[in-house]
Each structure stands twice: as structure tokens, then as C-alpha cells.
Amino acid sequence: MTQITVIATLHARAGQEAALEARMCTMIAATREEAGCIRYDLHRAEDDPASFVMVEYWRSAEDLQRHFDSAHMAALGRDLPDLLDQPVQIRRLAAVA
């Protein structure tokens, strides 16, 4: 079983920065309760207050897939188009050492 790290970058529409932050904080609360979630943290770029980065650590690819299939991820997917000005950039990394 290989630990998976996900780096997801989200960029808020002008004027939607606070709404995106609040929505992601709701997502954090639900996700941290999921089996296999090791860490799930939201960060804001110091040089661009509209840019947010999720740093996620998952026990396995299967746990991450269950997260992607969850009801709260589906709800987030419906909400994000109104909050973002560009698609979410997702990078999956497999732990090496």
C-alpha cells in the first residue's frame, strides 16, 4: 500500500475569496473524518490571496478514490464553478521515502 499525496490548487473568482475559503473549510471538516485521510489542509498563497492550495495525505489510492466518490466531494463539484475562475489543478504524488 503506497501513501498518496495530493496537491490541489484552486483560484477564486474576484470577490469570491472568502466564499471559497468558507466552502473549503466545510469540506475539510467532512473529509478529515474519512477513513484513510491522514492530513487534509488548506493553504492560501501569500502572493495571491485568491490562490488556495489543498495539501492532502491519503493512506492509499483506494482511500483517495473513496474520497473522490463521496457525497461531499460531489457537492463540492457542484459548488466550485461559481467560486473559481479556472479549473482546479490536481497533482497526485506517490510517496517514495
**Quick one: pLDDT at residue 96?**
82
Strand, coil or helix: 54: strand
**Quick one: pLDDT at residue 60?**
93
| pLDDT, tens digit, 9 for 90 and up, residues 30-82 | 999 999 999 999 999 999 999 999 999 999 999 999 999 999 999 999 999 99
Domains contained in the chain, CATH given: 4-94 (3.30.70.100)
Distance CA 75, CA 86 (A): 18
**Quick one: pLDDT at residue 2?**
85
**Quick one: pLDDT at residue 95?**
80
| 1 has a pLDDT exceeding 80 | no
Contact by Cβ (8 Å): 42, 25: yes
Beta strands, E only, 12-88: 37-45, 48-58
